[in-house]
Amino acid sequence: MSRFADIALPAALHQALDQLGYETATPVQAQTVPPMLQGHDVLVQAKTGSGKTAAFGLALLATLQSDNTQLQGLILCPTRELAEQVSKELRALARFVPNIKILSLCGGVSVRVQLASLSHEPHIVVGTPGRIQDLIKRGALPLDGLSTVILDEADRMLDMGFIEPIKSILEGTPSRRKTWLFSATYTDDIRAISSAFQRTPTDIAIAEPP
């Protein structure tokens, strides 16, 4: 059992965890948050419902600089519904972090409205690969300050045919970025993405309880 109190996170995040009633870190959180905080890339396999969102959300919020207005974190999700769930959980975790802006950008919503919302200079963008690639092509998402890219439900994104936008997005991001890859399954395609875009990732597979 790992208590969040034993994981070195900023006070504002501990305060949010207290308010959410998260006392014990799930296995995926206990095993992935420390290497992510140390700046490592991670390749994580853990089943649905294991708490992956808070794992990468806490590590991302702990490592970004809210006084820097650049876009620093990009999270890619397979669907709009999942991107909205991730944004919601991140906002709950970021409740006591002053001035953090988290924006959700998915297909099915007017590009014009999204272009206007980008004038608020988000620190974190959560979105679906097709729309994010489109906004990057329009020059609307400045990537120079991007320090972390997270692929959430990577296996599902590949099943849905998002390989090309994912590659194109990653190719356009700074090479010094951290890449955190989360998936429910390990497939050859996941390994291929990892070896093409990650730097000696810490490989973490969470076993299913017997």
Please report how close the Cβ of residue 86 comes to ligand ADP at its closest, in angstroms. Answer: 8
Tell me whether residue 76 or residue 136 sits nearer to Mg ion (CB atom).
76
Q: Which of 7, 9, 12, 22 binds ligand ADP (CB under 6 A)?
A: 22
Q: Which is nearer to ligand ADP, 40 or 88 (CB)?
A: 88
Taking each helix axis as running N to C, give the angle between helix 52-63 and helix 80-93, from 0 to 180 degrees, rounded to the nearest 10. Answer: 50
Query: 23: closest CA among 39, 38, 2, 37?
Result: 2
Element spanning 15, H or E: helix 11-20
Distance from C-alpha of 86 to C-alpha of 95, rounded to nearest angstrom: 14
Interface residues for ligand ADP in 50-109 (CB under 6 A)? 50-54
Shortest reach from residue 42's CB to ligand ADP, in Å: 14
Round to whole Å and give the CA distance between 154 and 185. Answer: 9
Q: Cβ of residue 47: shortest distance to Mg ion, in angstroms?
A: 10
56 binds, among Mg ion, ligand ADP, none (CB under 5 to 8 A by kind): none
Write b or e for each residue in 141-151: b if 16 or more Cβ atoms lie within 10 A of its Cβ, otherwise e: beeeebbbbbb
**Pattern 42-61, ligand ADP, x by CB under 6 A:** ----x-xxxxxxx-------
C-beta of 176: minimal distance to Mg ion in Å? 26
Token output for 196: 């093409």
Measured distance CA(84)–CA(133) in Å, rounded:
18
Q: Please give the residue ranges that form the binding site for Mg ion (CB under 5 A).
A: 52
Applying CB under 6 A, the residues found at the interface with ligand ADP are 22, 24-26, 29, 46, 48-54
